[in-house]
Amino acid sequence: MYLADKTRYDSMIYRRCGKWGLKLPVISLGMWRNFGADTSFANAEAMCRKAFDLGIVHFDLANNYGHPYNGSAEENFGKILKNGLGVYRDEICVSTKAGYDMWEGIYGGMNGSRKYLLASLDQSLKRMGLEYVDIFYHHIFDPETPLEETALALDHAVKQGKALYVGISNYNTEQTAEISAIFKELKTPFIVNQPSYSMLNRWIESDGLDKYCHENGKGIAVFSPLYQGFLTGRYLNGIPENSRIGKGNTWLREQLTEEMLNQLRALNAVAQERGQTLSQMALAWILRNPAVTTVLIGASSPEQIAENAGCIRNLDFTQQEIDKIEKILAK
């Protein structure tokens, strides 16, 4: 029987999601990879338990997460909950999403329709064995569906009691502002946007999304904070066979040039001076942005989760360190 670590809340840092009452750990567990049917269930369960033991109470999924078939990550998470983690359901924040291709036919493809979103949420709840999720996201902006329809579907999920809060993912500032206005009229608890963001991918800064969310009381949950593994330090001395690039599991291979490697090595030197790994510094760098509520980390082992969660031991940067990092990133 699983018994959670009694000290799990002693070290983790929690932030309010924008202006809302919901708090999230600054480090959350993203379950995009390594939780599907083709991975070790024992390892997936060990990672979830390690995360919770470290105070990581937020588990982020989506309907299409898992390999080799969509939904297998949610199925495994449902088993993990049933095996003991579910005893702590009221201490856990579960989020899932819908928006990308999910099932065959005209209703299961990438879209934001009421038909797709509500059917998908019912499927997700069944796979996880839950009555509700804490946050239900629309996964990606759909230009072919009126935002009003998407917003009404998410609002209905809350009114049904199947979601406590709603969020959006992969929406830019303009799209966020437009749907936010609809949610405001509906009085929907819209609390969070989930964009990609990292040292090597700063589009939310140039787009102004971080500033908009911060000024309008919306949280930001960051995905791909380590830029598909570039900022983990795995590639400083070549491409390991068991890495994402080595396995061909990322579209970024062509970006790993000698110039990029020199940047990563320079960043790693700064991290070492700070007493951190490159991944820890990269996560801490994101968390210095006041708009960010939480960073979603991926993982392949419990040890990796523990290492990345260790970033919270040093979240402060001197101006000299910031200047040095900006100079490296500008090259």
Contacts of 68 (CB under 8 A, 6+ apart): 36, 37, 38
Residue at 75 is within a domain:
yes
Instruction: Tell which residue, 174, 222, 215, has the closest CA to residue 194.
Output: 222
Read off the pLDDT of residues 124-163 as tens digits, 9 standing for 90 and up. 999 999 999 999 999 999 999 999 999 999 999 999 999 9
Read off the pLDDT of residues 304-330 as tens digits, 9 standing for 90 and up. 999 999 999 999 999 999 999 999 999
Residue at 126 is within a domain:
yes
Residue at 129 is within a domain:
yes
Residue at 266 is within a domain:
no
pTM, full prediction: 0.95
Residue at 306 is within a domain:
no
Reading phi first (left if > 0) and then psi (alpha if -120 to 50, else beta), residue 95 is in beta
Instruction: Tell which residue, 228, 234, 232, 236, has the closest CA to residue 253.
Output: 228
Residue at 3 is within a domain:
no
Reading phi first (left if > 0) and then psi (alpha if -120 to 50, else beta), residue 39 is in beta
CA distance 324 to 245: 28
Instruction: Tell which residue, 154, 169, 96, has the closest CA to residue 129.
Output: 96
Exposed / middle / buried, residue 306 (Cβ in 10 Å: 0-12, 13-18, 19+): middle
Tokens of 63: 């309907």
The pLDDT profile of the chain, 331 residues, written as one tens digit per residue, is 899 999 999 999 999 999 999 999 999 999 999 999 999 999 999 999 999 999 999 999 999 999 999 999 999 999 999 999 999 999 999 999 999 999 999 999 999 999 999 999 999 999 999 999 999 999 999 999 999 999 999 999 999 999 999 999 999 999 999 999 999 999 999 999 999 999 999 999 999 999 999 999 999 999 999 998 999 988 888 666 655 555 565 656 778 888 999 999 999 999 999 999 999 999 999 999 999 999 999 999 999 999 999 999 999 999 999 999 999 999 8
**CATH code: domain of residue 132:** 3.20.20.100
Tokens of 93: 């924040």
Instruction: Tell which residue, 285, 310, 288, has the closest CA to residue 299.
Output: 310
| Structural domain boundaries enclosing 99 | 14-253+290-299
Domain count, the chain: 1
Residue at 7 is within a domain:
no
CA distance 133 to 157: 10
Residue at 79 is within a domain:
yes
